[in-house]
Amino acid sequence: MLDSQLFYILCAYSIILVIAVLLGGQLSHWLTLTHKRMQLVMSFVSGLMLGIAIFHLLPHAIYTIDAANAVDIAARWTMAGLLTMFLLLRLFHFHHHDITDDAHDAQYVELSQDASHHYEADKGYAHIAGWLGIALGLTIHTIIDGVALAASMQADFLLLDSSARVLSFVGLGVFVAILLHKPLDALTISTMMSRGDLGKKQQRLVLLGFALICPISASLMLWSFDFVANANGVFIGSALAFSAGVFLCISLSDLLPEVHFHSHDRLSMTLALLLGICFSLLLINLEPDHRHTAVANQAYMHHHVEHE
């Protein structure tokens, strides 16, 4: 049976995530989002996700697996997560948070007006296909976020001393990383919908549905840790390592285009990146001390027996 503290913490996280996504979809109406501002935000969030992957998810995966070959298992699952997200990005092209400059918008409109009517049907088909790809890609991406959150919460809970579990916000670092990244995804969806024929009410329903995906997947994953027969330290640790690979791929996919193709604002974006990494260290230091010894599987078995 799912521990009541984990359930209440997940409920709190879920409410905050839903609110963040719904507000993220309205960002463009409240703020002037220039290219530079978006890149600064992306650099900070990328640094945060990079730090959470390296400083939190990977070490905790190794601690939780608690086996002689724990490092090898974690490395393989990290690569699996990175390649999975890379292939999703390659197939569906859903991870795009940039703000197009006005000059580029004007050029696009002019080229669109000059295009022949012969290509209108193909463009419409491409638009629908693009929408489906983005929707599917973001859905899978958000489900994986839910898996990462659930695995982090469960691992933190098992690695904490029983006296430290009370009022401990387990999985805090992963939660904050997802919390700051989801509004960017919501902004992508909102921008896409604003170019279509959906009304305001329909747009809100779409955003609400998107906002609920992560909490639902996290809930199902937490329940699976209790009910799947082999949901031991290896199972949870592998999920953590897989999530670390996903976080690495997401953060680098935001950072690398700027590194390679843009020479502007290098200093400010580098500082934002470093601030994000420092923030990840701060979040980790705010967590209670963990039992980073060979006790993860024993803790799981004891916890599992208590609830049978």
Q: For the chain, which ranges sit under pLDDT 70?
A: 1-2, 28-29, 31-33, 94-131, 161-168, 196-197, 227-232, 257-264, 287-308
pTM of the model: 0.80
Question: How high is the pLDDT of residue 39?
Answer: 84
191-204 residue pLDDT tens: 777 776 677 888 88
Which pLDDT does position 25 carry in this prediction?
81
Question: What is the structure's pLDDT at 17?
Answer: 95
Angle between helices 120-159 and 172-194 (to 10 degrees): 170
CA atoms within 13 A on the CB side of 48: 21
| Amino acid 184: pLDDT | 86
